[in-house]
Chain A
Amino acid sequence: MTQPDLVHVDTVRKNYAGPAGEVTVLKGVSLHVRAGEFVGVRGPSGSGKSTLINMITGIDRPTSGAITIAGTRIDQMSENTLARYRGLKIGVIFQFFQLLPTLTVLENTMLPMEFCRVWKPRERGERAYMLLEQVGLTDQAHKLPNTLSGGQQQRAAIARALANDPPLLVGDEPTGNLDSRTADRVFQLFADLVAQGKTFIMVTHDNELAARIPRVIQVQDGVLLEGQEHHVSERATGPLHLGPNGHSAVTDLHLNGRAEHVPQTAAQ
């Protein structure tokens, strides 16, 4: 059965005022993401992919068009409503982890629960531990972020993104600041989350990882290149199948005349 749309980006334009005049970063982009999908967003620097992600997370607002998440228009929400909505429905993972430096890993994970008050105070710690266990960080729970490696910090950021059990996770180059081995492990976490039913949209420059994402969207010059979305798997809600060692075979895919590497899953 086809899943309903969780994310609906409808003809979104985004202009910015720059020193040389107004710049249009997104030129009427439309996108549908179904619940349980794992979607990659690719494109060269300045193509508008981060802006698109910011539109979906409500971090930025479109100049025109509409953004609907789980049936709710978020582009018309007030800042406060949006902040609370985001805290509950969207988990955001950044390239530079963005953990609050003065809070421990456990406290960073508990903070969204405290802001949104969705769990009882005594349950928050237990839940944070459970999430840290999920990302393999229970032994680091009481450490400050700066004492952790990049991969550990990103896993902590993932735990934090999951704090309020949001249906949608969005990552802006979440593996961009990690070495390939660590990036691979973190990506596996994302894959597991999707397997558990989360919807995941992530920007990535990593061809190998992009090749393992079931659906990859190409953004260039502020538009989604029609017909060049790459669907690795139609079974978006099903488990992702990776190779025996966690790596998949790589298939060349030519986009815009350039060689791109996308993964070929066992399901294909």
Chain B
Amino acid sequence: MGIAFRKVWRDMRNNLGRTALVVASIAIGVLALGLIVSGRTLMARQMMVSQAESHPTTLRLSVGPAIDDATLRMIRRQPGVEGARGVIFSGIRWKPSLEAAWTDATLTAIDDYTDQTYDLITLREGGWPATGRVAIEHSHVAPYAVPPVGGTLFFEVNGRAKPMTLAGVVRDPREIGPPFTSQPTFYVTRNTLVSLGLSDRFNSLQVAVADFSQERAEAVQHQLTDRLETLGVGVNDSEITAPDRHFLQDVMDGVTMILTVMALLSLGMSTILVINTINAILAQQVPQIGIMKTIGGLRGQITGLYLAGVIIYGLLSLMLAMPIGAFGGWALARWLMALINVTVSDFEVLPSTLGIQFVTGLVVPVLAAFWPIVQGSAISVREAVSQYGLGTGNYGSRWIDRVLARVQGLPRTWSMALRNTFRRMSRAALTEVTLIGAGVIFMMVISAQHSFETTLATIFRGFGYDVILGFSTWQRIDRVTPLLEAQPNVDRVELWQFANAQTRLPDDPDTVADRELLVRGIPRDTQLFTPELTAGRPLLPEDDRALLLNQDLAGEMGVGIGQRIQLDFGDGTAQEWTVVGLIYDLAGRGRTAYLYRDTLARDLGFVGRGSVAEIRLQTNSLEAQLAAEAQLREALEDQGISVSFTRTQLLTREEAGAQFSILTSLLLIMTGLIGLVGAIGLSGTLSINVLERRREIGVMRAVGASSLDIGVVFMGEGLLLGVASWLASVPLAVVAGQWFVSNLNETIDFNGAYYFAEHSVWIWLGIVVSLSLLASWLPARRAAAISVRESLAYE
């Protein structure tokens, strides 16, 4: 090791605090990048592997009425169809023990579990479902307290508990667990369905389109829809997904893209920190640079020396960032994949990610430090060796010095803190950039979360219900309404009609352009349904064939306010309706229309009847909603009215908000990292200020300054920097937040409004003040500990 290199090494060793600061600064950025890149790589690969292993179908049709085996065989013979599977989805209530309360569950049945070709359900534990024996999706075991394999659970049949044995645990690639779902899925045979009093006919078709392309799949979709229609079977819903893409791939890509941006931001901020710290190191090393030049050191040699130091910082940071990034990435992938029911392989190190980290960890700091080093090493020997004593530099020659000097009335130590804050303008500016960046990102993320929550709250408020009960058959309004109104805690009952329809433009009668539509018939005197419209007007009492259309569907169809669309309820006669308003809701994957119940009833032939009860409660806490849900169901079933589904507003809202809370949790983790970079930056700046002002501290000491006085000067400086950054970050966050939320919405296909979270301003103030005090405490303590002799002695 050369002598010059030994100097670099020992400078680092002798300044462990500073070395740790630089290493941590680089490491955080590189770690964040590695974590995201490896997580993203593992997720993409694993989703692709999982998708391929499941032999996915590409077209899914939800049909009604359900079809028999002969129809399924006919579907399989259709041109363009490579294969098809019939699936039965049924709602049922279950409980894990006789003492437990009934809750909703989904039953899934296929023809033969041991002979599957598509969307393979795999056995994880125990055995396949058989008569009287059921299986459970593995991601639902823990959240719903399902008994172990071999245990007994109960399904509700005609109000009685029918015991079933849990035969096994399976993985269904099309199922996801909580928080995206709120009820467990059990797997049964068709015979078991019959024994539970349910239909064993298929209500869902999973079709593999031969030689998949989007166009071919759409052609098959229309062809099957037409073919089924001729048999009197309607298609309520259909979905096409490419065979090589996981059905949640787009969402995950969006999430990881945002996280990548955040990782790059934190890398950028750590780069700023490196620039700041290297500048400060050089400032401190100026006399030594002068000496080296005096004894023959060339600028290139000195530059190389300090760049070697930066490379060592980079290598040290990589020792931290590479293993933590690799493990963190794997843990991130494992967590996110578990949420969408994709298995992640055992921990592994991805060479490509390590490569990216290695290059970033070395190249970025070198690039960041290059200019400060080149500039620092350019200092003339005279300037370098003459930096001794107080009063050097040009303090007082800048306007800001003069302005701050005019600030009177503050205690002397506070005046010093104020003037010192902007003494090294570029250093203060870079520190501010880091802190402002952290503040903006924090407020942006909190605002995104707030926007999601407020949007959801607005949507749900617009629907006004606390509990929904769906009936298995049409019910008379004048019978059910008083029955429900008589129940305790019920404030208002409205019976709605839910129906499926095909929609098309009047001037485009070709059925190829049909789209499925979920139609909601609302009472003319509704008090519950008061949605915020995105365009147009609400339904008015005098309206007849008028409707509110989901804005996404309207966009897809190219329909605007005042335009007409045709609705076909399956009887082959289409009626024209006028779109009077556009609505944004989360129901029915954006394929909803709201119109008056009495008008709809005429078309459907169910005048005076309803299929869904929407109920507002007097007390609407979660407990009250859950209690009402059970009690209302019981009251209906006591009267022989079968309930097909129930829903509470708060749980549905929680489910809808789950994907946002996961996203914002991830973003907050990244924000935490960025905040840490900011705190390190601030601490570093102040530490360096202490080093630079050792002599001043000595003089202050010599003229009677106490440790507290010295502490106040430095902590005051930290606080001023923190508060100044807060002031600057607020307006920036308001603007950046809008941009961020809009991009986020686009990524996750959500039409949320932007609401700036005012509380985030005060939370960030609290954080930045705490961070500032914490970050300046150590340098202030160090400054206060410097003795007069020590500070005035030459190094």
B794 pairs with A96, CB closer than 8 A: yes
Q: What is the CA–CA distance of A114 and B381 in the complex, to the nearest angstrom?
A: 19
Say if the beta carbon of A70 comes within 8 Å of chain B. Answer: no
Say if the beta carbon of A163 comes within 8 Å of chain B. Answer: yes
Q: What is the CA–CA distance of A78 and B103 in the complex, to the nearest angstrom?
A: 86
Name the prevailing secondary structure of the A interface residues.
Answer: helix
B381 pairs with A115, CB closer than 8 A: no
Contact residues of B between 516 and 552, Cβ < 8 Å to A: none
In the complex where A80-B298, A83-B299 touch, is A101 in contact with B795 (Cβ < 8 A)?
Answer: yes
A98 pairs with B287, CB closer than 8 A: yes
Say if the beta carbon of A189 comes within 8 Å of chain B. Answer: no
A interface size (C-beta, 8 A): 34
Residues of A within 8 A of B296 (CB): 83-84, 86-88, 112, 115-116, 164
Question: Please, which residue of chain A has its CB at the minimum distance from the CB of B291?
Answer: A98
Contact residues of A between 95 and 135, Cβ < 8 Å to B: 96, 98-103, 107, 110-112, 114-116
Question: Please, which residue of chain A has its CB at the minimum distance from the CB of B296?
Answer: A87
A102 pairs with B292, CB closer than 8 A: no
Residues of A within 8 A of B244 (CB): none
Question: Please, which residue of chain A has its CB at the minimum distance from the CB of B300?
Answer: A80
Residues of A within 8 A of B795 (CB): 101, 146
A112 pairs with B298, CB closer than 8 A: no
Contact residues of A between 50 and 100, Cβ < 8 Å to B: 54, 57-60, 79-80, 83-84, 86-88, 92, 94, 96, 98-100
A112 pairs with B385, CB closer than 8 A: no
Residues of A within 8 A of B11 (CB): 102
B294 pairs with A92, CB closer than 8 A: yes
Residues of B within 8 A of A83 (CB): 293-294, 296-299, 381
Q: What is the CA–CA distance of A111 and B2 in the complex, to the nearest angstrom?
A: 9
A114 pairs with B4, CB closer than 8 A: yes
Say if the beta carbon of A160 comes within 8 Å of chain B. Answer: yes
Residues of B within 8 A of A60 (CB): 380-382
Q: What is the CA–CA distance of A108 and B11 in the complex, to the nearest angstrom?
A: 14
Q: What is the CA–CA distance of A80 and B381 in the complex, to the nearest angstrom?
A: 11
Residues of A within 8 A of B124 (CB): none
Q: Mark B276-300, 1 if CB is under 8 A from A, else 0.
A: 0000000000011011111111111
Question: Please, which residue of chain B has its CB at the minimum distance from the CB of A78?
Answer: B299
Question: Please, which residue of chain B has its CB at the minimum distance from the CB of A58?
Answer: B381
Residues of B within 8 A of A98 (CB): 287, 290-291, 294, 385
Residues of B within 8 A of A112 (CB): 295-296
Q: What is the CA–CA distance of A110 and B292 in the complex, to the nearest angstrom?
A: 12
Residues of A within 8 A of B299 (CB): 79-80, 83
Q: What is the CA–CA distance of A110 and B4 in the complex, to the nearest angstrom?
A: 9
Say if the beta carbon of B301 comes within 8 Å of chain A. Answer: yes
Say if the beta carbon of B14 comes within 8 Å of chain A. Answer: yes
In the complex, which of the residues A79, A88, A111, A115 contacts B380, with contact meaning CB atoms closer than 8 Å?
A: A79
Q: What is the CA–CA distance of A84 and B388 in the complex, to the nearest angstrom?
A: 25
In the complex where A59-B382, A80-B300, A94-B385 touch, is A103 in contact with B295 (Cβ < 8 A)?
Answer: no
B298 pairs with A84, CB closer than 8 A: yes
B14 pairs with A87, CB closer than 8 A: no
Residues of A within 8 A of B2 (CB): 114
Residues of A within 8 A of B794 (CB): 96
**How far apart are A193's CB and chain B's nearest CB, in angstroms?**
17
Q: What is the CA–CA distance of A94 and B3 in the complex, to the nearest angstrom?
A: 21
Residues of B within 8 A of A92 (CB): 294-295
B288 pairs with A86, CB closer than 8 A: no
A102 pairs with B7, CB closer than 8 A: yes
In the complex where A59-B381, A84-B298, A103-B10 touch, is A114 in contact with B287 (Cβ < 8 A)?
Answer: no
A100 pairs with B298, CB closer than 8 A: no
Q: What is the CA–CA distance of A260 and B380 in the complex, to the nearest angstrom?
A: 35
In the complex, which of the residues A19, A58, A100, A160 contacts B288, with contact meaning CB atoms closer than 8 Å?
A: A100
In the complex where A80-B298, A86-B296 touch, is A107 in contact with B381 (Cβ < 8 A)?
Answer: no
Question: Please, which residue of chain A has its CB at the minimum distance from the CB of B10?
Answer: A102
Q: What is the CA–CA distance of A160 and B3 in the complex, to the nearest angstrom?
A: 13
Residues of A within 8 A of B297 (CB): 83, 87, 111, 115
Given A60-B380, A110-B3; 19 other pairs, CB 8 A cutoff: A19-B397, A54-B382, A59-B380, A59-B382, A59-B385, A86-B295, A87-B296, A100-B288, A102-B10, A111-B292, A111-B295, A112-B295, A114-B2, A114-B4, A115-B295, A115-B296, A115-B297, A146-B795, A163-B295
**Chain B residues packing against A (C-beta within 8 Å):** 2-4, 6-7, 10-11, 14, 287-288, 290-301, 378, 380-382, 385, 388, 397, 794-795
Supply 30 A–B pairs (Cβ within 8 Å), ascending by A: A59-B380, A59-B385, A60-B380, A83-B293, A83-B294, A83-B296, A83-B298, A83-B381, A84-B296, A86-B294, A86-B295, A87-B295, A87-B296, A88-B296, A94-B385, A98-B287, A98-B294, A102-B6, A102-B7, A102-B10, A111-B4, A111-B297, A112-B295, A112-B296, A114-B2, A114-B4, A115-B4, A115-B298, A115-B301, A116-B296
